[in-house]
Amino acid sequence: MVRIIQPNAWRAKSTIAIARSLIGKHLVRRRAGGRPEARLITEVEAYRGESDLACHASRGRTARTEVLYSAGGVWYVYLCYGVHEMLNLVVGPAGHPAAVLIRGIAGIDGPGRLTRALGIGRELNGRPASRKSGLWIEDRGVLVPRRAILASPRVGVHYAGPLWAGKPWRFRWKPPASRGSADGI
């Protein structure tokens, strides 16, 4: 059974719990002509508030980070190194800047490759994670055993110092081969 996860579902739990729970869900992108493409989420990273020195909000509210202060359930898309778009799901209550970076999906490792493959750009920044925006998350009943999810330090955040760079808030899962391909709807 396919269940679309509504944007308000991303407001109640902790950032870390939400990040872990995204493993095994499907990121769905509406393609040209209205055809949806669903891909299993296999890797994410959590960023939690102004005190997290690896989080973009660690320097407070700016024009760029304003979307992070929204109530959970909207997309935060930004340009990294002037080259790659990065897709994040804003989570938690309004006023608490937290997000989960979607780092990998079935068949595609790397957040820049993921956004390029699915045609995701900054036009989605601040838009709801819903069918209306053309990008949403579905629960298709994939059960991922907790012990199968590898927790490790986040990638590329050495600037945050050893404490924050070392937080084991990167979650990865290598699905069985039968689940590793793209799912059509």
pLDDT at residue 42, as a whole number: 97
Nearest Cα to Cα of residue 75 among 39, 100, 111, 55: 100
This prediction's pTM:
0.92
CATH fold for the domain made of 3-176: 3-methyladenine DNA Glycosylase; Chain A (3.10.300)
3-state secondary structure (DSSP) of residue 96: coil
Model confidence at 8, in pLDDT bands (50, 70, 90)? Answer: confident
Averaged pLDDT score across all residues of the chain: 92
Dihedral pair phi/psi, residue 151, rounded to 5°: -100, 135
Angle (nearest 5°) at CA 126 between 99 and 10:
40
Residue extents of the structural domains in the chain: 3-176
Average pLDDT of the residues in 58-87: 93
